[in-house]
Amino acid sequence: MKNEFALAFNEVLEEKGLPRETILEALGQALVSAYRKSVNASNAQEVKVVIDLDKGVFRILTEKEVVESVQNDLTEVSLKTARKFNADAQVGELVMVDNTPENFGRVAAQNARQVIQQKIRDAENAAQLEYYEKQLGEIISGIVQAANSQGLTVGLELGAEGVMPRKEMIPFEHFRIHERVRSLVAEIKESGRGPQIILSRTHRDFLRRLLENEVPEIYHGVVEIRSIAREPGQRAKVAVSAAQKGIDPVGACVGMRGVRIQAIVRELHDEKIDVIEWSNDPTVFIAKSISPARVNGVYLKESIERQKNALVVVPEDQLSLAIGRDGQNARLAAKLTGWRIDIKSLPEAVSDWLFALQNKEELKEQAKEEKDAIKKAEDILARKAEGRVINPEDYDFLVDFNDRMERYASHKMQAKIEKYKAKRQQALQTIPEGAIRVPLEETGLTANIIEALREAGYENAGDLVLASKLNPEDLLEVSGIGPKTLERIQEFEKALPALIPATEEVAVYDEEPLPSETEPEEKILEPVDSTMIALEEEAAIEPSTDIEIDETGIKEQGQYESMEDIKSEETLSFDEMFKLKPEVFNTGITAADDDLEETVDDDEGEKPGKKKAKKSKKHRELEYDPDLDLTIAKKKHKRGEEDWGEI
């Protein structure tokens, strides 16, 4: 028994490659589960398993109550038997006693086997998940186990299987069963059948890792890969830079006679790889990214929207090379640099400028200054159209003319940007701080318009008000916004300060704060629902100077012991509350805090030396204004005024 048990245990350890403690825990849980099912034991009863690998035996210990007369063998044990396992056992105590059945039986053994297998599978899955999470983003090698139209199934270490979908495979490459394949661990997903490992050979990090393996300078950090643009199976561009002076990053990657880069090309099934040197200057970097085409000039097109656009002017015979087959070279250059690149031939760029100088009003003055240059450029282009020979001096003149005009346009655009920045800064000063914390729902616009605004890039009320000041024409292009809605947005700015939530440093009270002697009293608008709560609750603030309340405000008069004597006299009934429109509570419709009616009740009588505050009654009316999309609180003053004053 000892040898058989030990041999079986060691065989499982070697086959599964799992820790010894994991197998012991799985075996113990399996025996406990088998015992509970065989004797129908309760889950509340504690059951333990003690395994002795040296002797090849195990014992099942169960918790039982010590009694004088045993009625149930499963949960009770006599005092005499209990003291064999615990010499200090007493009647009424719970003790752990050996309750190993003589024979589990076939069903119990089969159940134990299934539980052990399940526990071992769970342990294997956990070990695989832990191992391959560390390999995420790294290259691994595996054996192809199956290949079909959906992709490959690859056998990996620790008995795991990886899946390489067809979209993650390089086009036109095929693998046979039992063939070794290298790939990148792109993603790991958990599933009920174990970790699902997604492999990829088209990811750009696959090329990055191949370069690290083949080029020691990259692996040790002497040469750094700045960016990679790749179209799998066709072409790739890699921008590299040197971390130390005196090192050629491109030469280090290519290797002697191209040995290093050729090894990577073979691995990628003859995918062409262009290695260029990265530059901190965008114009230089873009010019190099267009290689192998020559470039006459690169011009960065700045705009108010801060879009990264660049114009590349190339000789006419280099235009097709710069664009590439199906625009591939230009597309990869744009991905590599992060700029949107427009490519024009030199004659085309000059022709566009000649047309603009003749037809655009804003360029009339510049056209007068460039009158002679325009005439000469037109003559050169005319001779070229006739098929006559153009000498190098004429080409240099066209290059200089185009460069001069592009720089003029750049300076003019820079002036517009500076003017826009000044206008934006001025508009920002008129918008209260904290407006970005006000959600779009507080504007009172419909849900469809709010959704369209979010899709257009407006995330809060501050952005919306700023856009209405700077670019109202852009707002009109948003679906659902017309001139009337734009006017509502512009009017909404008046109510914006009241909707700004208080910061963490500022305490917000339901009752109206007392104005100080030094600071002027400000009318702070507050949401209606908070106002109603404030009218029903008592203020809880520190004792302050006595006050006298009348229609004109609050005056110092002596001293109160607390603010508990001051209570609200006017509240809204439920009928009035339900008559209010829902927008009152959703769009930040406000009422003035300084108009909250406060009266003083003196139930215990007037105290000596104290002056009783006058009771005041105010008339209030809430009215919805559809033009402003707000509810206005109005009051009637006792100053002989017959009209209602808006708050």
With helix as H, strand as E and coil as C, how does 585-608 read?
HHCCCEEEHHHCCCEECCCCCCCC
Pairing of strands 196-200, 161-165: parallel
Q: Which of 163, 214, 166, 167 is nearest to 185 (CA)?
A: 163
Whether 521 shows a pLDDT value over 60: the answer reads no
Q: Is 104 helix (H, G, I), strand (E, B) or coil?
A: coil
Backbone angles phi, psi at 416, to 5 degrees: -65, -40
Query: What does the alpha-carbon distance between residue 131 and residue 123 come to, in Å, rounded to a whole number?
Result: 12
In the chain, what is the greatest distance between 2 CA atoms, to the nearest angstrom?
A: 124
What pLDDT, on a 0 to 100 scale, did the predictor assign at position 475? 79
Say if domain 2-126 classifies as CATH 3.30.1480.10: yes
pLDDT for the residue numbered 83: 82
pLDDT digits (tens, 9 = 90+) for 578-588: 444 444 444 44
Q: 595: which strand partners?
A: none
**Mean pLDDT of the 187-191 span:** 86
Which residues lie across from 3 on neighbouring strands? none
- Please tell me the predicted confidence (pLDDT) of residue 19: 74
Q: What is the pLDDT of residues 310-346, one digit of tens each?
A: 999 999 999 999 999 989 999 999 999 999 999 999 9
Amino acid 122 reads D
The confidence score (pLDDT) of residue 207 equals: 94
Where along the chain do the CATH 1.10.150.20 domains lie? 431-498
pLDDT of residue 336: 94
Q: How far apart are CA 484 and CA 297, in angstroms?
A: 48
**Model confidence over 16-62: pLDDT tens digits?**
666 777 777 777 877 788 788 777 788 888 888 887 777 767 788 88
591 pLDDT more than 90: no
Q: What is the 3-state secondary structure (H, E, C) of 481-505?
A: CCHHHHHHHHHHHHHHHHHCCCCCC
Confidence check: pLDDT of 456 > 60: yes
Find tokens 């005024």 and name the residue: 641
Using an 8 Å Cβ cutoff, are 350 and 381 in contact?
yes
Burial code of 526-551, b = ≥16 C-beta within 10 A, e = fewer? bbbeebbebbeeebeeeeeeebebee
Beta strands in 304-381 (DSSP E): 309-314, 340-345
pLDDT at position 634 is 58
pLDDT, residue 633, reads: 59
| Beta carbons of 567 and 577 less than 8 angstroms apart | no
Beta-ladder partners of 618? none
**Binning pLDDT at 50, 70 and 90, where does residue 424 land?**
confident
Q: Which residues contact 565 (CB under 8 A, 6 or more apart)?
A: 600, 601, 602, 613
Given this model, what pLDDT does residue 610 score?
A: 42
Per-residue pLDDT for 604 more than 70? no
pLDDT in tens, 262-283: 999 999 988 999 999 999 999 9
Residue 34 and residue 108 in contact, taking contact as beta carbons nearer than 8 Å:
yes
Confidence at residue 48, expressed as pLDDT on a 0 to 100 scale: 86
Name the CA dihedral angle for 520, 525, 529, 530, rounded to a multiple of 10 degrees: -30
Residue 635 pLDDT: 56
Confidence category of residue 595, pLDDT binned at 50, 70, 90: very low
Least confident of 194-203, 466-475, 505-514: 505-514
Cβ proximity of 589 and 631 under 8 Å: yes
pLDDT > 90? residue 201: yes
Give me the residue label for tokens 């004797």.
39
Mean pLDDT value of segment 553-568: 39
Q: Beta strands 630-636 and 619-625: pairing type?
A: antiparallel
Q: What is the tens place of the pLDDT at every residue in 138-148?
A: 999 999 999 98
pLDDT greater at residue 482 or residue 319: 319
388-410 average pLDDT score: 91
Domain with CATH 2.40.50.140 in the chain: 135-202
Per-residue pLDDT band at 211 (split at 50, 70, 90): very high
Q: Is the pLDDT of residue 636 over 60?
A: no
Structure tokens given for 27: 């075996």
Over residues 533-538, mean pLDDT: 38
Residue 637 has pLDDT above 60, yes or no: no
Domain span(s) for CATH 3.30.1480.10 in the chain: 2-126
Query: What per-residue confidence (pLDDT) applies to 106?
Result: 59
Distance between CA atoms of residues 632 and 646, nearest Å: 7
Contact 463, 526 (CB under 8 A): no
Q: Which CATH number fits domain 431-498: 1.10.150.20, 3.40.50.720, 3.50.30.20, 3.40.50.300?
A: 1.10.150.20
Are 166 and 153 in contact, with CB atoms under 8 Å apart?
A: no
Could you give the percent of the chain with pLDDT greater than 70? 72
pLDDT per residue over 118-128, tens digit each?
777 888 888 88
pLDDT at 616: 42
Per DSSP, the three-state class of 283 is helix
Amino acid at 230: R
What does pLDDT average to over the chain? 76
Q: What is the model's pLDDT at position 513?
A: 42
The reported pLDDT for the residue numbered 252 is: 92
d(CA 457, CA 463): 9
Residue 217 pLDDT > 80: yes
pLDDT above 80 (res 573):
no
Residue 318 gets which letter from DSSP? Answer: G
Token pair for 163: 């899946």
β-pairing, 590-592 vs 525-527, is: antiparallel
CATH class for domain 135-202? Answer: mainly beta
Please give the average per-residue pLDDT across 559-576, as a whole number.
42
pLDDT digits (tens, 9 = 90+) for 59-106: 888 888 888 888 887 788 888 888 888 888 888 888 888 877 776 555
CB contact set of 226 (below 8 Å; sequence gap of 6+): 239, 240, 241, 278
